[in-house]
Amino acid sequence: MALDESRVPGITDGERIRLLEAMVRIRVTDTRLLNMQRQGRIGFYGTATGEEASVIGSFAGVRDTDWVLPALRQGGGLIYRGFPLELYIAQCIGNGMDILKGRQMPVHAASRKHHVVSWSSVIGTQLTHATGVAMAAKIKGDDTVVLGFLGDGATSAAEFHVGLNFAAVYEAPVVFLCQNNQWAISVPFSRQSGSASVAEKAEAYGMPGERVDGNDVFAVMGAVREAAGRARDGGGPTLIECLTYRQMGHSSSDDPTRYRDPEEVEEWKRRDPIDRMLTHLVARGLWSPEQTAPLEARINAEVGAAIRIAEAAEPLTADDVFTDIYADVPWNLKEQAEAVRGRKAGDRDWEGAFPL
C-alpha cells in the first residue's frame, strides 16, 4: 500500500531518509533490548515493533520543544529527539547512569530537557496531565503544543473521558494520539469499545477526530502536523487514531500465541511500516534494497556501543532509595536512610545493581 505523501507537502528527500533511519533505530534497539531481557540482562521490555511509523510520524509532526506525555511505546520518539541511546538503555538496566535513578521499570524513560514527561504505568492517567500542561501553556501565553499518547485500551479508562472533556472545554492546545494497535495485552479492541473507531469518539467531545493509517509515517506526520498547527493557532484539541498493529507480545512477560491468530499477525507483518517506507523510497529512487542491510548494521553497531557504555556504568547505591521523595528530607527518611547506611556490608544483600 503506497504511502500518502500528499499529507506532508514539501517534505525533502533528506527528511524521508531521516524518518526511515529513526524507524529502523527503534526496530533494532527493540530487538537488541528484548534479547537482553531474554538473557536476563534487563528485567522487562516492551517493543514498538510494527508501530514505528505511529511513533516517529507523531514526533515528526510537532516541534522538538512541544511537550510529550507518552504511554508505553514512545521511547523511540525520545531517541528521535536526541536522547542518547546509552541513557535509554541505562534506564532499562536501572543503574547509576539512569537519570531516573532506577525508580521505574524499563521502557519508562523521560527527560525534561527533551520535554518528554515520565509515565507511571497506570493506563490513561497521562491524558489529564497532557490537558493540564496544554492549559498551562495557554494560561502563560506560550505557543507550546502538547502531544498526549494513549493506546486503544486507554480509551476505556475514566481519564480518557475526563482528559478529552477538559481539553475541549478549555480549548487546550493538545493532540491526543491513540496508537490503536488493536490489542490491550490479550483483549481486542472489540472488547474495549462499542464504537466502530476511536476517532469517532472525538465528535461527542466537540473536537476534530481522525483515523489515519498508522503504518504510513507520512499520514501520521501530516495529521499530527495539521492538528498541532490548529492547536497552536488557538483551534483547540484533536483526537488522532493511528490504526496499527502490535506485532509482538504486549511485553516480554506476554505470550500472544495464547490469544490471537498467527495468521492475523502475518497479515499485519505484510503491512509493516518500515517495509512500506523502504518500498516508497525505492520507488522514488532514493534507496536501493542493497542499502538496507548496511543501514541496519550501522545502527546495530551504534546500539551495541551504547549497550557497552550503559552496562559499564556504576550501580546505584542504597542511598538512591531515599532521595527525591521531597525537595527537603523529613526526619523519618533521614532516619531510615541512616539505618540502611549503618548496616554492615555483609548484611546488604540488596546492595549493588538494580535487581533483575
Partner 1 sequence: MATSTILGAVNDALKTALAKDDRVVILGEDVGKTGGVFRATDGLQAEFSERRVFDTPLAEGGIIGTAIGMALYGLRPIPEIQFLDFIYPAFDQVVSEAAKFRYRSGGEYTCPMVIRAPCGGGIKGGHYHSQSSEAYFAHTPGLKIVMPTTPADTKGLLLSAIEDEDPVLFLEPKRIYHKKFKEEVPDGWYTVPLGKAAVRNEGTDVSVISWGAMVHVALEAAKKAREKDISVEVLDLRSISPLDVAAVLETVRNTGRVVIAYEAPRTGGFGAEIAAIIAERAIEVLEAPIARVAGFDTPFPYTLEHVYLPDAGRILNAIDHVVNF
Which of 135, 199 has the CB closer to partner 1?
A: 135
Residue 2 interacts with partner 1 (CB under 8 A): yes or no:
no
CB of 157 to partner 1, least distance (A): 10
As given in the structure block, the three cell numbers for residue 112 are: 525534561
Sort strands 183-184 and 187-188 into parallel, antiparallel or unpaired. antiparallel
Which of 86, 159 has the CB closer to partner 1?
A: 159
Q: Which one of the listed residues 211, 250, 276, 280 is annotated catalytic?
A: 250
Query: Scanning residues 50 to 69, which ones bind partner 1 (CB under 8 A)?
Result: 67, 69
**CA 132 – CA 134 distance, rounded (Å):** 5
Which of 28, 316 has the CB closer to partner 1?
A: 316
What are the two backbone dihedrals, phi and then psi, of residue 197, each rounded to the nearest 5 degrees? -145, 165
- From the list 6, 39, 140, 258, which residue makes contact with partner 1 (rule: CB under 8 A)? 140
Residue 318 interacts with partner 1 (CB under 8 A): yes or no:
no
Count of beta carbons in the 10 Å neighbourhood of residue 139: 10
**CA 281 – CA 59 distance, rounded (Å):** 20
CB of 109 to partner 1, least distance (A): 10
Stretch that binds partner 1, among 29-37, 187-195, 263-271, 319-327 (CB under 8 A): 319-327
What are the two backbone dihedrals, phi and then psi, of residue 148, each rounded to the nearest 5 degrees? -110, 115
User: Hey, is 178 helix, strand or coil?
Assistant: strand
Concatenating the DSSP letter of every residue in 293-343 gives HHHHHHHHHHHHHHHHHHHTSPPP-GGGGSSSSSSS--HHHHHHHHHHHTS
Query: Scanning residues 163 to 182, which ones bind partner 1 (CB under 8 A)?
Result: 163, 165-166, 169
3-state secondary structure 28-51: HHHHHHHHHHHCCCCCCCCCCCCC
CB of 298 to partner 1, least distance (A): 30
- Catalytic, 250? Answer yes
Query: Scanning residues 93 to 132, which ones bind partner 1 (CB under 8 A)?
Result: 98-101, 103-104, 108, 110-112, 117-118, 120, 122, 125, 127-132
Selection from 181, 244, 177, 248 nearest residue 215 by Cα? 244
- Catalytic, 246? Answer yes
Residues binding partner 1: number (CB under 8 A)? 47
Classify the C-alpha dihedral 227-232-235-238 as positive or negative: positive
Catalytic residues: 246, 250, 259
Tell me which residues touch partner 1 (CB under 8 A): 67, 69, 98-101, 103-104, 108, 110-112, 117-118, 120, 122, 125, 127-137, 139-140, 144, 158-159, 162-163, 165-166, 169, 323-328, 330-332
